[in-house]
Structures are given as structure tokens and as C-alpha cells.
Amino acid sequence: MTAATTRVLVAEDDRVARDLLSEILRGEGYEVEAVDDGAVAIERAQAGDGRYDLVVSDVRMERSGGLDVLAAFTAKAPGTPVILITAFGDVSGAMEAIQRGAYDYVSKPFNIEELRLTVARALERRRLIAEQKSTPSEGKPPQLQDIVGKSAVMLDVYKLVARVAASTATVLVEGESGTGKELVARSIHTHSPRAAAPFLPVNCTALTESLLESELFGHARGAFTGAVGAKRGLFEAAHGGTLFLDEIGDMGPKMQAQLLRTLQDGEVRPVGGSESIRVDVRLVCATNKNLDEEVKAGRFREDLYFRINVVTVHLPPLRDRPEDIPSLVAHFLNKTARRERREAAAMSPEALRLLTAYGWPGNVRELENAIERAVAVAKGNVVLPSDLPPEVGGSAALGVPGGVSVADGGIIADRPTLGELERRYIQLVLAECAGNKKKAAEKLGIDRRTLYRALERGGEEATDDDDR
């Protein structure tokens, strides 16, 4: 589930609070529909079409309150999580709502960061439940969803994941940013005996140390300003399942000590709490740092390093497996087509050559972004070198418009057919003429009708450009 496709219903009768909630959620990229009364929200629930991914509702409203909204969505759209907004005096009612099925509550005046985290967790939980329902793990061979490749180094990764998935060993996934470390962690969970239990990820870099402490271990009521109720931490929420700590190398010394104690004792103590809670959680960690060097530099505890480094999965950078790039390109072209509900675009041989030759400092994530960008800007259904980002080798490559280098034989490097060679040369000249078909035809020594026919043969748009 991506923010761009996530719909949130906000029910709040106070205009100022409603506008603020909507602004915060839209700022996160969600599509927000705001209504001024619970009765209207209940009408939306009665439709029962699952149009909303999340509901955020005030507890007290003039006609119908948040408990009524909760009941309506529980009955008609049980897969839609509901978060309640409550004033300080409504804590008891909010706790009752949690027992009746609400995902969580946020107190007024609400902390913006707390609201964002609560919403993100609710949406992640909904996505994981839907994913587990639609992707049963039994009877399927181990695989890494959305990680594509048949290179020798990736086959070694697949084999290692298949071996460790069934165990309870703590796994450390190493690799540069964008190599797919979370996907590996998800695959380990999916193919483990814990697959039916939660998989909960947390980015150690994205939170301050105090927020991370509360996020992982929970907090007691009154533990700090704004803690109007007790909250379960992710260790407790992931009981029986898997907790994924991304970028653990950025965890501070205090949190390292607390994490080590949790791993040793199998217990967590919420912030401000007096009693410990037993937890059964498998830990998968990831880092883009060399933790061995971090240990030597005194920035990471050696005893914690040994605890989390029982099994190490190393994900190679994309530049070390260029033979996988064509398969990845095809995968992302199909993925983009499914999302956009259109026919999959084709990649021209010259564009594919540029993609394969590029170093990809952002790894697979950067490649996916480049493919999405190229498909979005391509005039037809074929991605050309000029459609690629400049840093990959598009219009800025070697100072030649269109990214094609005649000097190094790029236009004929793969020995194309005469028809393909004609199409590539026309595209090169068009790029040099900034897309002006009249000038390109003059430079090619043909009339515009002949140029249009050639473009149509190659599947390109051949409309008049008004002699620009």
C-alpha cells in the first residue's frame, strides 16, 4: 500500500481540528475525505465497499460519536482500522473503544509526530494482514518478493534465506541502501513458522532515541508529558512473530544496552512501568554500515553485535550483478504497467545498454525510480535513451542529445536490423532538433510525410508539431 493510493476518512465536528488533521494527513501523501459529523461517516461505512484504508474519528460529536463510527465500520468494513481522537477527559471511553476493536487513540491536543506514527502503524498492520491473506506461504518455494535476479551471488542469497527461515536464529542483513534488505527480512518471516503472526518493521534512523524507546518497549500511563494512557511497544505487539530493526547501526548507546538486555532476558519493561513483560519475538536486523568497524571504533557494542550477528545475509550492490539488470528492468516495467493499468512498455536496446552500464549508487531502488520516470515521460510505449534520467545516460550522456554516442558505436553496438537502425537514427536526429519534426526531416533529407511514416512504423507518435 503506498501513500499515493491510501484513502483516509476524517470525522471531526470541530472545523479547526478537522482542517489540521486533514492538513497533516495530506502532508504524508494520503488522500483525505473530511466530514463534520459521525452520522456522515456512518453513511460512508454503510456503503460497505471498502473504499477507505483508515478512519480517524473524534470520540465526541454532536449527532453520532466515534464509538458509533467504530461500530459501523467494524460491522460493514472490518478490515478498516479506526483511530479515535479524544480529549483528556475521554480516556476511559477511548480505552473502552480499544477493547471494542479500535486500533488506537490519540489525545487532544494531539502530538503531530505521535499521530503520524499511529497512522503509519495502522496502515502497515492493514497491509500486512491483507498480504498474509492473499499470499499463503505453505507449499511455495522460498523466494524474495520483488527481488529479482539469477546471478550467482543472488542464488547464494536465496539458498541462505531458505535455510535460515525455519530457524529462530537472529539474522543480520547487510547491504547498501536500496538493495532490498527489508524484502529479505519479510521473506524470512513469510517462510518461517511465524508467518501467521505479525511482521513489524521500525527504522532506527527515523526516530529520536526517546521515541524509539517508547516505540519498541511501550510506555506506561503518565510516563511522560502526553502519555495519557498505556501503549504497547512493538516487541509486545510482535509477540510470536518477527520484529525488523532497520539501520540498527544508527541506534544510540542507551538503546543498544536496553536491546541487549531484552535479547538476554526475553522480557521488556515499558517506559515508566514497574513490571516486565515476557515476549517471544524473532529479531531480524539490517544495516548499511560495517558493524565490525563500528565495534572497533567504539560506536557499537561488541556483545550486542554478537547477539544479532548469528546469521549474516549480505546483499550485493547492483553494480556487482549487472547481469540481473535486464530481468529487473522487465520486472519493473510490468509492475508499473499493473499499477497504471496499461500495457507494459518496451525498453529499446540502446536504453537497456545504458541502464546496464550505469553504476547505480542507489541500487535497485534507484533503478525502479528510473524505470518509473522513463515510462512516465516516454512519448510512446517504447522507452528511449532520451527518456532515461540524465545521470543514467539520458539526454546528458557524452554531450550528445538523446544519450546516444556515435563515437563509441553506441547506436550500432548490438548490431541491430536495418529497420531498428533507421528508427534509432531518426530518434537521434529528433533529439538533436529538440523534437522539431520539420527540422529533423530537413536534416535527414526527407519530407515530413516520409518521417511520419517512419515514426509510425516504429510505433512512435507522428502528430504535427506546428513547425515549432
Question: Strand 104-107 relative to strand 171-174: parallel, antiparallel, unpaired?
Answer: unpaired
Nearest to 203 by CA among 171, 250, 241: 250
Domain with CATH 3.40.50.2300 in the chain: 3-130
DSSP E strands in 204-323: the ranges are 242-246, 267-268, 277-278, 282-287, 311-314
Cα angle for residues 233, 245, 319 (degrees, 5° grid) = 160
3-state secondary structure of 202: strand
Question: What pLDDT shows up at residue 301?
Answer: 95
Q: What is the 3-state secondary structure (H, E, C) of 423-449?
A: HHHHHHHHHHCCCCHHHHHHHHCCCHH
Q: DSSP alpha helices (H): ranges in 141-180?
A: 152-164
Stated as kind and residue range, the H or E segment containing 211 is helix 209-217
CATH topology of domain 322-457: Helicase, Ruva Protein; domain 3 (1.10.8)
Nearest to 248 by CA among 258, 260, 239, 256: 256
Q: How far apart are CA 251 and CA 291, in angstroms?
A: 12
Domain with CATH 1.10.8.60 in the chain: 322-457
Question: What pLDDT shows up at residue 49?
Answer: 62
Question: What pLDDT shows up at residue 378?
Answer: 86
Domain with CATH 3.40.50.300 in the chain: 145-316
- Assigned C-alpha cell, 421: 537502425
Q: How many other CB atoms are found less than 10 A from the CB of residue 155?
A: 11
Q: 61-75: string of b/e by CB count within 10 Å (b at 16+)?
A: beebbbbbbbbbbee
Q: Which mean pLDDT values do the consecutive 10-residue runs of the chain (468 residues) have?
A: 73 90 90 91 82 90 86 88 72 57 77 85 78 48 59 82 86 93 91 91 87 85 63 89 94 93 90 84 95 95 94 93 91 89 87 90 92 89 88 54 41 62 77 77 82 74 52
Question: What pLDDT shows up at residue 133?
Answer: 58
Domain 145-316 in CATH 3.40.50.300? The answer is yes
Nearest to 27 by CA among 47, 51, 8: 8
Question: What pLDDT shows up at residue 91?
Answer: 43
Residue 61, Cα to own-chain centre: how many angstroms?
35
Question: What pLDDT shows up at residue 313?
Answer: 94
Q: How far apart are CA 296 and CA 300, in angstroms?
A: 8
**What is the CATH code of the structural domain delimited by 3-130?**
3.40.50.2300
- Assigned C-alpha cell, 92: 476511559
Question: What pLDDT shows up at residue 466?
Answer: 47
DSSP E strands in 315-358: the ranges are 346-347
Locus of grid cell 477507505: 52
Question: What pLDDT shows up at residue 62?
Answer: 79
Q: How far apart are CA 212 and CA 218, in angstroms?
A: 9
Nearest to 390 by CA among 399, 381, 378: 399
Q: How far is CA 447 from CA 422, 437, 457, 459, 465, in A?
A: 15, 10, 16, 19, 14
